[in-house]
Amino acid sequence: MLSSLGLALPPEKLAPALVHSSYANEIGGESNERLEFLGDAVLDLAVAEILFRECPDRDEGELSRIRSVAVSEPVLAQVAQDLGLERYIRVGAGAAEAKVQKRPSVLADALEAILGVVFLELGYPAARELTRRLLGEKLRQLAQEQPKDYKSLLQELGLRRYRELPQYRLLEAEGPEHEKVFTVEVSLGGKRTVGRGRNKKEAEQAAAKRLYLSLEEEFLED
């Protein structure tokens, strides 16, 4: 696994990224949680830069959608599984019996922790290139998908994250008939925002875009 990453790092440098909290609590020392925190931020930046440079035709909403899928737990866990990472993650005795090292969250966290180590030891360019090697194919697949409108994106996000659909409400339509401006409010997940447009459909799209981007940014910061 370590050799397949193609890194100019000895195994002992990557070892801290593979220490689960159960092992640290049982044996002593530090878990990989701090490295995972750092690696998570490095991963977000690396994916954002790759997408920015390689998808010049996509707006910020589409880029946010692609990034959120690419850095999601299921995708990272699958990459870690393909690398055979579970064989190298050190867990406590009880956790080993429960096969904690096979859990998607543990696999994803270990992968992010490895990126944290690479960033610290080799710098951001090396971390970005490792990200490209690990996620490049997935990013290309996602980038080739047809762009979706923001109402569709917000609807998918609502069903996936909140198990509910966005609710739209026309607040006002003002101005002379030939220059009317529509204001629409959209709410989802306890959040709401408004959008304006020359017709109701345009206003709904504007509102959906603002709320979608806001919720995606909030999710990535958690």
Catalytic residue list: 40, 112
Nearest-angstrom CA–CA distance, 207 and 215: 12
By CB atoms closer than 10 A (0-12, 13-18, 19+), residue 82 is exposed
Q: How many residues does the chain have?
A: 222
Closest to 69 (Cα-Cα) out of 222, 216, 221, 218 = 216
* Residue 40 in tokens: 């998570």
Q: Which residues of 127-165 are buried (b: 16+ CB within 10 A; e: fewer)?
A: bbbbbbebbeebbeebbeeeeeebbebbbebbeeeeeee
201: number of Cβ within 10 Å: 13
Instruction: Return all residues near 31 (Cβ < 8 A) that are at least 6 apart.
Output: 19, 20, 21, 23, 24, 25
Per DSSP, the three-state class of 174 is: strand
Nearest-angstrom CA–CA distance, 121 and 13: 8
